[in-house]
Structures are given as structure tokens and as C-alpha cells.
Structure 1
Amino acid sequence: MSEEKPVLVDVADGVMTLTLNRPGAKNAVNRAMAEAVAEAMDELDSNDDIRVAILTGAGGTFCAGMDLKAFVTGELPIVEGRGFAGFVEAPPQKPLIAAVEGFALAGGLETMISCDLVVAAENARFGIPEAKRGLAAAAGGLIRLPRQIPPRIAMEMALTGDFIDAERALQLGLINRTVPAGSALEGARELAASIAANGPLAVKLSKQVINESTDWTRDDMWQQQQAIVMPIFTSEDAIEGATAFAEKRAPNWKGK
């Protein structure tokens, strides 16, 4: 792959694939990469023909984190309003799947946990070793990771900087599934196809409820959910889904 573009973007069958394309630097995130990811995320959410996206890395590595060489020169891989890597503080509205080969470390892990689903190679490794470099996992490792795995395990990972393997990550629920080394992207595409086959409005709003409901109270959670999901039940897609089921055919979604 050429390193001329920091991110390669491909769209096929309703699935956008974003490939972090700095293999010589283990796909470390610099400013140019962050800006390219942010641009792709805008296209993902604005293009009705795209249902789901996959984020992966070139050269057998997902992402080794922030480009430290660029950091010491004063460059930060942050996009205003989007955060690190161009999206960790403002993930897309549509589903995003991480396809992980090799290492997802530091900002690479934080990028991974900003995705909705994770397919990882059996030999993948994960960690937030920022403390080993006198830094802190401030792109989500300290606040998002404890919400995805037991807080004591997140605490250990943050304070020691030690890595965990794919088997442990699967046990902890940090990733969805493991696949043989070299086939993470293939596995992610299978998962993406399953999502893309469903009603796009239902998928988008279901993701919204799951993400936002973590802050809801028992007193208002049903009302909050109702306000978001009601458009699903009054949509053209809902009628189409029921009709297609009765007629034993694949639905023709309109996303409305």
C-alpha cells in the first residue's frame, strides 16, 4: 500500500472501509491521519448509501497510538470537536467496527474502544502503556475503558501499562470475536454485512439508545427511549420490513 494517503477509504455494498495507512510507523496517528479520518466520518454519516463502516490498519498492525515523533515537535493528532484520531470524542452515528490485527496500543486501543464492535485476530495484543512514557491515556483509556471492562482491570492496565492478549480481551468483553491471524478484516466484513442487511433507521437509533442510556435514570429511561425510537415504528421501513416478512422476500430499505 502507498503511504501517500494516511487513510485509504473504500465503499462497497453499503460498507465503508477505512484503512489507517502509515504501516512504516505502525499506523501511529498524526495530524494528517486524524483529519482524514474525520473527513471520512462526515461522509459516513451524511451518505445514505453507506450503512456501516470498518476501521482497520495497514501492514498487519491496527494502530500503535499517537505519533510520538510528531508529538515532540508540538503536533497533536486532534481535530477540534472530534478529538484524537478525528473521532474518539464524537463517534459516528452509524455503526463502526474495528478490525484488529497485531497491536492496538495506547491511542490505538483508545481508537478501537471508540468503535461499536471489535473483530480481532487471535494473536492481537491490547494495552494502554502511556504511563511507561510519562503520559496518560487521555483519549478514552481512562474514562471509556472502565465502562467496557471491569474497572479494576482497567485500573491495572492504566497503571502498569501491561498488555493483554486476544483471549483475555474476549473474556473481558473488550472485543466481540476472534478470528485467525490475517482474517480480521474478513471477519469484520461478515459482521458488517449482517448489519447492512437490516433497517438503517432501526440500526442507527438502536445504537443511539444503547450509547445514551448509560446516563439515564430509572425514572426517565423509558420516556427517553420512547422519544428516540418512535420514528422507527412510524417509518416506511417498519411497514416494508413486516411486508417483506409476510411475502418471504428481502426488504427494500429506504432509511425512513
Structure 2
Amino acid sequence: MDGPLQRDADDLTRHLRAGDWLLAALPPAPRRDEEQARLAADIVTACRTLRERFIARHAEQVYDGLTDGRTRFPRLAELAFAAAERFPGLVPTRAELAAERALAQADKHGREIDQGIFFRGLLRSPSIGAHLMAAMRAPTPRARELLDDFRRLGHVRLTTVDLERRDGAGYLTVHNEHCLNAEDDQLIDDMETAVDLVLLDDSVRVGVLRGSVMTHPRYRGRRVFSAGINLKQLRDGRISFVDFLLRRELGYVAKMLRGILLDPAAGDAAGQTVEKPWIAAVEGFAIGGGMQLLLVADRVIAADDAFFSLPAAQEGIVPGAGSLRLTRLTGARLARRIILQGRVVRATDPEAALLCDDVVPADRVDETVERAVRDLSAPAVLANRGMLHLAEEPPDLFRAYLAEFAYVQAVRMHAPDVVDKVGRFGRSEEASA
């Protein structure tokens, strides 16, 4: 590291260690009186301000150092842990995050907020953001390991996702039945693997997303698309900021929209990007993250008894990139009613035409999906969807949005109202069990 960067890094570490010492001298959080709690909050705020100033001043040099002059393309978690080793105190270490992971959300120290500060600082740079987004669009090692088997067998069963190739389509079915296909860290990993396999297999022309048949007593025997984020796991502290909330947006959802990069070093050079159209077939409901997937699908088919909602504001968090994408589909007024007021849109409502393309009886979903696969297999579809995406959501607009999302979502995850809401969700769930 050069002189100014090294000096600032040493100063940062020294001041942060002093802050840790002052916090350790106070009683544990539950036993602090009002004055002690206020002092602790002031110390935490001062330390985070130092981190913000450091990454704002040195983002380019920090990122270049962590990526060997941008010759390497580490993914989010690898990048964050490398930063923890190279710049002590800037972001939490593996051990610190492991300790946090063992705590309920209400008992965490909010260390992931420091990761939010770090990634906001990186993503605010157009050049760093482009490099990091390219890294996240590369095929995952897990998908590459499974690719030969999928090409040969046409089927892969992951922990929470079943992927089958049939008649030129890759049918990705979510099997997280115990929680109504709610999203958790495992599902995010499985979804990215499955999306990669769809994009890497030359025999697949179109991807299809669908929910499995439920075992949950209330919906037994019926398909459900997605219940959104798993609030029970959020309450228990098992929803990861980097491996779930950031990885989801920069990983499989971005790949659905823009495709994968076979070689991130080559960027979007000819032959390096592989993209395919996607169909979402919604039965039951698409809530939260489930509805967000509809905003990147090329065709949405809904059973006539399905509904859609983005209840993030009611839960206290931000609906991923939904706030970026919903307005262009529905207009500003309806988007605000959906996000801010919790408006539920039913498939038979007139407004549903802004969110889905086909509304059919449940027993006609299969045939409608098959027809959509044929329609989206036309040779000119890929070129035109690419131009539509370029017009609707330029990559740099997405980068700028994700920069602010990284910080805001990290803060909201640890906000008192969120902790209280997910706690009440858990109590009501246990009472109804």
C-alpha cells in the first residue's frame, strides 16, 4: 500500500480498536442505563463515520489491492473477508460474523452494517462497480461442477431447487415447501446454481420458474410460487446480508436479467455473454422476493386465484431492486401503493395487467407455459430483450441503486422496528402451530 493509504489504514485501525475498548468497558447492552446506552451509540456512530470516510477516500486503491490490480474477480464474501484481513476493523472478520450468526437478530451487534458501508463505498465508483458486477455474473464453481451431469441427465436436484430440462426449456422448481418457498441463504445458493445451469446448457433455450406443490397444512396439495424472505430465519439471525441480500441482487437475479459472463475479464465482448428469456408461472402467491422475480421475467403467467405483494415497508426492509423496477411497469402511484401501503394486487384486478401477461385457470397454467416457451424460442427474442433491458435499466443505473441499497438494507436489518416485527411474527407463528 502507498504512504497515504497505509497511514490512513493504520489510523483507522487504531481509532476503531480504541472504540472497541471503550465499548468493552461499558456493561453489556441489556444492563446499560440511559446515559451508558447513549454513550455506546455515540461510539458506534463515530466508528462507522471513520469507516465511511476511509472507504470514500480510498475505494479505488482498496479495491485494486484486493483484486491484484483488477486482474482477479473475487465474489462478494471473498472480497469482504480479504478486506477484513488487509484493513483490520474496516469490515468484520470471519470469526466476528460467525459469532454474530449464532445470535438472534435482536441480539446482534450490527456488524453487517459495516459491510454495507464497505460495499456502498465500492459500488459508488462506476469503474469498481462494473468490475464487481462482472465478477458476480460469472458462473459459480458449483454450477460448473454440476454442468456435465445436467447436460447428460437433464436433471439436477439441489437442496431447495429441482431443475429439469424438457423440450428445450429448463424448468426450475422451488422446493422449500416447509416455509411456503420462502427465501433463505440455502435457496439463494441453489437458485444461482440452477440459473447458471440453465444459461450454460446449450440445449436449453428458455428458463421457467415455478413453485412446487406444498406440504404446508394450509396449502397442502397446491402449488405456491414464493412467500418472500423467511421471516423466521431473519428473527433467528440466519439471514445473511452478503450471502443473501447482496448476492441475490448481484447474482442470480442479475443473471436472469442480463445473462452470465463466461469470462468476466472480457466483459460483454462478443461470445462472452450468455442470456436466455425467462418465464415465471405464479400459482398461489408471489410475495416479496417472489414478486421481485416477476419484474425481471420476460413473460409472467398467473393462475386466476393468485396474488402479488411487496410488503417490505410493512416488514421494515427494502424490497431488493423492486423499488428500481416496479415504477417503470406500474407507474409511480401504483408502485407507491404496493411498496409503501402494502397494496395486494390480485391476478383478476385490472392493475394485474401491468404485472403479468396471462391470467388463466389453474388447470391451464401448464399449457400456457408450454406455449410461452415456444413463443420465446424465436431467434430474434434474445436480441430484442437485450435492447429492452438496455433502455429500461442501464447497468450503471443498477450499480448506483445497489450502492445505496447496500447501506440502507444493512441498517434496516438491524433497526428496532424490524427486530420487533420479526419477533412478533415468530411468536404468532408458534402460537398458531
Report if TM-score (shorter chain) is over 0.5. yes
Query: Counterpart in 2 of 1:150?
Result: 331
Choose from 68, 74, 86 the match for 2:238.
74
Q: 1:81 to 1:130 in 2, by over 3 A?
A: closer
- SS of equivalent to 1:178: strand
Residues 1-256 of structure 1: pairs in structure 2 closer than 5 A: 5-59=159-213, 60-72=223-235, 73-76=237-240, 78=243, 82-84=247-249, 86-91=251-256, 92=259, 93-137=275-319, 139-168=320-349, 171-196=352-377, 198-199=378-379, 202-214=380-392
Total equivalences in the alignment: 210
Identity %: 28
Report the AA paired with residue 95 of structure 1: P
The CA deviation at 1:86 is 4.9
Whether the 8 Å contact between 2:299 and 2:357 is mirrored in structure 1 is yes
Secondary structure of the structure 1 residue equivalent to 2:300: strand
TM-score, length of structure 2 as denominator length:
0.45
**Helix, strand or coil: the match of 2:171?**
strand
CA apart distance, 1:205: 1.8
Max Rg structure: 2
Q: Indicate how the Cα distance of structure 1 residues 106 and 12 shifts in structure 2: closer, same or farther if over 3 A, else same.
A: same
CA positional deviation for 1:149: 1.1
Mapped partners of 1:96, 1:32: distance in 2: 22
Indicate conservation of the 8 Å contact 2:345/2:352, yes or no: no
CA contact under 8 A between 1:103 and 1:126: conserved in structure 2? Answer: yes
Q: CA deviation at 1:5?
A: 2.6
Checking the alignment, whether the CA contact within 8 Å between 1:16 and 1:50 is kept in structure 2 is yes
SS in 1 for 2:305: coil
List alignment gaps of at least 5 residues for structure 1: 217-256
- Contact 2:227–2:287, Cα closer than 8 Å, also in 1: yes
Aligned mates of 2:384, 2:200 — CA distance in 1: 18
Quick one: distance in 2 between partners of 1:169 and 1:5?
38
How far 1:32 moved relative to its partner? 1.2
Q: How has the CA–CA distance of structure 1 residues 169 and 108 changed in structure 2, closer, same or farther, with 3 Å as cutoff?
A: farther
SS at match of 1:83: helix
Return the letter of the residue paired with 1:66.
Answer: I
In structure 2, the partner of 1:254 is: none
Q: Distance in 1 between matches of 2:363 and 2:384?
A: 31
Q: Measure the CA separation in 2 of the matches of 1:47 and 1:150.
A: 36
TM-score normalised by L of structure 1: 0.74
Q: 1:88 is paired with a residue of what secondary structure? A: helix
Q: CA deviation at 1:64?
A: 0.6
Deviations 1:147-166, CA, capped at 9 Å, x for gaps: 11111100111111121110
> Aligned equivalents of 1:215 and 1:61: distance in 2?
29
Q: 1:76 to 1:10 in 2, by over 3 A?
A: same
Q: Secondary structure at the match of 2:254?
A: coil
Counterpart amino acid of 1:94?
Answer: K
